[in-house]
Amino acid sequence: METIIIPGFVPPAAAMPQGPQRIQFVVPGPPQGKARPRVVRAKNGMSMTYTPDKTVVYEELVRLRFKAATQGFRFSDDAQLAMQITAFYPIPKSKSKRIQADMMAGVLRPTKKPDCDNVIKIICDALNELAYKDDAQIVVTQMSKYYGEIPRTLVKIMEVK
């Protein structure tokens, strides 16, 4: 069947795509994991819980990079989402050139902190109410850790049909 193009015809809004179905952005710097909330006890015996500053700063960086990549796009509240995260860790300078080459080739992969689940958690939590209503909408996740010359975290989010 041949597609016929009619000059001046504009399809109805319902037929037009409502923004990208796939988002990709990069968070610069070494990957970070979600730190546990800290509890401190005041002199009067009351307990206070707070999120460590390093976690707050990294979550804000994730939000800024998402906003820069998407110009205000947000997935619908009922969308089922898949998230793919690829974390590139810095190569230790103390390792031999042979080991560094194996790290760059992906033969040796990071088995150090932060753990995969904490990296996923900090990114998912940072994007709540921004990329999607709640991270409960994420039904598929994939997390990979590699060494790289430039430490960074690559995040891809897509709708699952």
In the prediction, which pLDDT does 85 show? Answer: 97
User: SS in 3 state form for the chain?
Assistant: CCCCCCCCCCCCHHHCCCCCCEEEEEEECCCCCCCCCEEEECCCCCEEEECCHHHHHHHHHHHHHHHHHHCCCCCCCCCCEEEEEEEEEECCCCCCHHHHHHHHHCCCCCCCCCCHHHHHHHHHHHCECCCECCHHHEEEEEEEEEEECCCEEEEEEEECC
Question: Using one digit for the tens of pLDDT, what is the confidence trace for 55-98?
Answer: 899 999 999 999 999 988 999 999 999 999 999 999 999 999 99
- pLDDT over 70 for what percent of the chain? 88
**Average pLDDT over all residues of the chain:** 87
Residue 109's pLDDT band (cuts 50, 70, 90): very high
